[in-house]
Amino acid sequence: MGSDLFSIGHSALSTSKKSMATTSHNIANANNENYSRQRVTTESGTPISEGDYVVGSGVNIRSIKRTHDALAEKKLNNSISNHEFNKERTDQLTQVEEIFNEINSEGMNKILNRFFNAFRELANQPENEVVRTMVRDNAQLVVKDFHRINESITRVKEGIDTKLSRSIEDINQSAEKIAYLNKEIIRLENAGGETGDLRDQRDEATRLLSEYFSVNTYEDEKGQYVVNIANTGSLVAGGAVNRLKAGKVMGTSGNGRDSEGKVDIFFEAQTNLSISDNLKKGKLSALVKTRNEDIEFLRGELDELAHGLAKSTNAVHRRGFANKELPTDQNGNVINDGSAGVVTGINFFKEPLAKDRAAEYIELADEIKGDLNNISTALAPNAPGDNRVAIAISKLQHEKVLGKGDTTLEEGYLKAVGKIGLTTAKTKIDTEQTAGILAQAKSIKQRISGVSLDEETANLVKYQHSYDASARVIKAADEMFDSVLGMMR
Amino acid sequence: MTRVSEQSSFHAINHAVGKTKSRLEDLQLKGSNLKRVQKPSDDPIGNTELLSIRSQDIDNEQFGRNISFAKAQLAFTENAVEELTNILSKAKELAIGQASNFYDADIRKSVAKEVEQLKKQMISIGNRRMGNKYIFAGHKNLTKPFDENGKFLGDDKTTNIEVSKDFFVPISFSGQEVFFPDGETKMADREPKLPPAPKINGEEVEEPKFEVNRTLASEDQITTEKAQRNIIQHIQALEDALNTNNPEIIQGLLPVIDKDMDKLVQIRTTIGSTINSIDNAFENIEKTKLLNAEYKSKIEDADVAELFTDLTRQQSTLEATYKASAQLMNKSLMDFLR
């Protein structure tokens, strides 16, 4: 009987100690965001029959389990994917938007206006050399700004490509980690070990993947943990990883821009099949969407603008005559014998060959760069005071030269700026919203799995008391033993 | 009972503080320059409206410059025409005096000298320059329009400039018009009018069709125009008649000079009415400027009262959040177990 007391006391003592250790572990990880609090579950020992009585045999530890809700975890992953998509898109679009922001600075709209007004000034004084210089300078500014915008957009696009490539490393690393943890968890569980901490680590890695794309996770019939990239295929299945790769797909289509090679994402095992467009939510699809939709749209609009400006200005300018004196016969008829060089049909901008990349290639014509007198203001030869061509060019400002002849240059530009502003504004609102949802999802998860110090403190006191009591049980057993032994003396 | 863990309360505090702070930052930025729109996404529609108003402003600035330019040139021209009128009336006085048989050849010769001076003055007015351009030379304004015999070498073109959107006014008067009273210049032609805009269909720009003021002179027109005499040549004729002592011709020249003067008066009236219409255009531009400024301010300027109320409100929200968080974070069961 006495030995029973000893063994019950011992089981209680060790259970209390173990519980205190778990509580300490919880307290130690109170600030670890990825930690799920652990709980010791106990059961009473198998009762022993002693004659007519059945007596309890103390306490046993059944398990140490982490507190975890799979549904809350899935919700959290989902809101991470959603939020990261909006956040990344806002980041990228804010960069793009800044290129077109001319609220506190100079921009294309103002510069284009100055260009046309320079021609208006030239119409006042077509014979004035200084005004011609001003016209050329203003035209040069237009060209520069087209190049600035084009380069800035290209830089954003290249930034996106770099970011895509770098993300792949992160993703593969997390995938490898999940595969490794899968193997470890199965090994430990087979050996009857506790896997709460490893599972926490695996969840953390999965959350990291959720930042890049929407994931589906499940355990298959063999108990293997599988991570699927939504809408495409499996990334991790048990201990196997289907690695991703980023790279340029060369010449996939005839489109001029595509042959430059933009970065696409595919499985290492299937390099000919890009999955970039299939990705849903997360950073990756935000990057792909911004690059393939928003930036392409802007480049198209910009090219259209540059093309329309160069074409229409040239068409009018070619009709004019350069500011050069031609010889005349006795009747006052002009003899164009070529002695004065080319005097009419001169282009102002280099004539664009195609709409594609017009903004990149726009440039002043060599004739205009070389000789200010080639800026043609007159509709007739030998008429230095004739301003009709200069006026006609200045009127192009309000002429519908874009699209099917239904949009002015300014309208075209403002349409593009307006669209990018609207998209950015909407994404910002979406981001604020998903940030709220994410915070909520995080807090739901933390309420379930997070450590509460108050709770742990209470537990600590509780276990301490039970430890003390268990020690007392052993002491009582000892005293009982002593008194029995004392009887022998 | 909702379970609260260290992390969940930490997230709650973090989210609350972060949200309030980012709003506050936004408001503070707006407060720093009192602009409501900082970037296109702040108000996408307003932003594009703002840009197009700015375009209008830049245009109007240019139109303002065009107006001063036009007015200067027209005033300069009017002045010249006025001087011409004065010279003509002097010549007319002399002609009236010499039209009778009262004076003899000698006196007429000395009067002829006086007339010759008047003629030279007229030629110099005809060759008057504003800056480096001859105001009466039409489009050939870098070459002298009158030779020493008063022969006109310029052309009959006028220059129009835009003084407000789509409103064009003539700012130069060709010698052909001012000095040739018989020239067929209809007043209707002088009315400010729109130039034809180049039409663009899709890719190709149709050639802009300019109304050429007058079709090029055909052979016989040239001869009639050569026969046609200008004001200077009328005075030349007066000088010749005085030299040859021929009162009949002098008498015959009187109605001609009258007609010349009528013509000049007519031109001055035209200049006056053009300046008037320019002044109207200027007033309209000023009005538009005002309206635009008001509209622009409505779009881009922050409502100061509202902004600062918001700012104060967000500040007190932040303070409240801080206080609540401090209480939550500082209390723990540990405090009571000692």
Cβ atoms of A376 and A136 closer than 8 Å: no
Cβ atoms of A458 and A99 closer than 8 Å: no
Tokens, residue B105:
């050849």
Given a cut of 80, whether residue A340 has pLDDT beyond it is: no
Residues of chain B with Cβ-Cβ distance to A452 below 8 Å are: 3-6
| pLDDT interval class at B188 (50, 70, 90) | very low
Q: Which residue of A has its CA nearest to B38?
A: A103
Query: If we measure between CA atoms, which residue out of A186, A429, A153 comes closest to residue A303?
Result: A153
CA distance A150 to chain B (A): 19
Distance between CA atoms of residues A218 and A238, nearest Å: 11
Given a cut of 80, whether residue B227 has pLDDT beyond it is: no
Question: What average pLDDT score do residues B210-229 get?
Answer: 40
Any A CB within 8 A of B60 CB: no
A136-191 pLDDT, tens digit per residue, is 999 999 999 999 998 899 888 888 888 888 899 999 999 999 999 988 888 888 88
Question: What average pLDDT score do residues A459-466 get?
Answer: 91
Tokens, residue A72:
């809350």
Find where tokens 């990018």 sit.
A420
User: What is the number of CB-based contacts under 8 A between chain A and chain B?
Assistant: 224
Query: If we measure between CA atoms, which residue out of B116, B94, B159 comes closest to residue B124?
Result: B116
**AA identity, residue A352:** P
Flag the least confident range among A73-82, A181-190, A469-478, B29-38: B29-38
pLDDT at site B210 = 38
Distance between CA atoms of residues B311 and B162, nearest Å: 48
B11 → closest Cβ in A104, A107, A446: A446
Question: B6, A417: Cβ pair inside 8 Å?
Answer: no
Determine what percent of chain A is predicted with pLDDT higher than 90: 21
| Residue positions counted in chain A | 489
Given a cut of 60, whether residue A207 has pLDDT beyond it is: yes
A34-69 pLDDT, tens digit per residue, is 899 999 999 988 888 878 888 888 898 888 888 888
pLDDT at site A396 = 87
B270-328 pLDDT, tens digit per residue, is 899 989 999 988 998 999 899 989 888 888 888 888 888 888 998 998 898 888 888 77
Residues of chain A with Cβ-Cβ distance to B47 below 8 Å are: 103, 417-418, 421
Distance between CA atoms of residues A462 and A12, nearest Å: 13
Residues of chain B with Cβ-Cβ distance to A321 below 8 Å are: none
Q: Which residue of B has its CA nearest to A312?
A: B205
pLDDT at site B160 = 87
Between positions 129 and 188 of B, the ones with CB within 8 A of A are 131-133, 137-142, 155, 157, 159-162, 165-166, 168, 172
Distance between CA atoms of residues B4 and B331, nearest Å: 13
Bridge partner list, A248: A263
A284-318 pLDDT, tens digit per residue, is 899 988 988 888 889 888 988 898 888 888 888 88
Cβ atoms of A79 and A437 closer than 8 Å: yes
pLDDT at site B230 = 81
Count of beta carbons in the 10 Å neighbourhood of residue A271: 12
Cβ atoms of A97 and A149 closer than 8 Å: no
Residues of chain B with Cβ-Cβ distance to A128 below 8 Å are: 131
A447 → closest Cβ in B8, B43, B161: B8
Distance between CA atoms of residues B56 and B15, nearest Å: 45
Question: A386, B157: Cβ pair inside 8 Å?
Answer: yes
pLDDT at site B197 = 43
Q: Which residue of A has its CA nearest to B142?
A: A384
Given a cut of 90, whether residue A89 has pLDDT beyond it is: yes
| pLDDT interval class at A453 (50, 70, 90) | confident
**AA identity, residue B320:** A
Any A CB within 8 A of B11 CB: yes
Task: Among A122, A127, A446, pick the best mutation site for testing chain B contact (most B Cβ within 10 A).
Answer: A446
pLDDT at site A253 = 47
User: Mind spelling out the 3-state secondary structure of chain A?
Assistant: CHHHHHHHHHHHHHHHHHHHHHHHHHHHCCCCCCCCCEEEEEEECCCEEECCEEECCCEEEEEEEECCCHHHHHHHHHHHHHHHHHHHHHHHHHHHHHHCCCCCCCCHHHHHHHHHHHHHHHHHCCCCHHHHHHHHHHHHHHHHHHHHHHHHHHHHHHHHHHHHHHHHHHHHHHHHHHHHHHHHHHHHHHCCCCCHHHHHHHHHHHHHHHHHCCEEEEECCCCCEEEEECCCEEEEECCEECCEEEEECCCCCCCCCHHHCCEEEEECCCCCCCCHHHCCCHHHHHHHHHHHHHHHHHHHHHHHHHHHHHHHHHHHHHHCECCCCCCECCCCCECCCCCCCCCECCCCECCCCCCCCHHHHCCECHHHHHCHHHCCCECCCCCCCCCHHHHHHHHHHHCEEECCCCEEHHHHHHHHHHHHHHHHHHHHHHHHHHHHHHHHHHHHHHHHHCCCHHHHHHHHHHHHHHHHHHHHHHHHHHHHHHHHHHHHC
B114-133 pLDDT, tens digit per residue, is 888 988 898 898 888 888 88
Q: Which residue of A has its CA nearest to B174?
A: A385
Query: If we measure between CA atoms, which residue out of B151, B166, B157, B83 comes closest to residue B118?
Result: B83
Long-range contacts of A371-374 (CB under 8 A, 24+ apart): A371/A322, A372/A129, A372/A132, A372/A133, A372/A136, A373/A132, A373/A322, A373/A323, A373/A324, A374/A322, A374/A323, A374/A346
Distance between CA atoms of residues B101 and A163, nearest Å: 105
Bridge partner list, B35: B301
The ipTM (two decimal places) reads 0.76
CA distance A395 to chain B (A): 7
Given a cut of 60, whether residue B254 has pLDDT beyond it is: yes
pLDDT at site B86 = 92
**AA identity, residue A308:** G
Determine what percent of chain B is predicted with pLDDT higher than 90: 8
Flag the least confident range among A194-198, A233-237, B5-9: B5-9
pLDDT at site B196 = 44
Cβ atoms of B264 and B85 closer than 8 Å: yes
| pLDDT interval class at B79 (50, 70, 90) | very high
Query: If we measure between CA atoms, which residue out of A301, A297, A303, A285 comes closest to residue A160?
Result: A285
Between positions 103 and 132 of B, the ones with CB within 8 A of A are 131-132
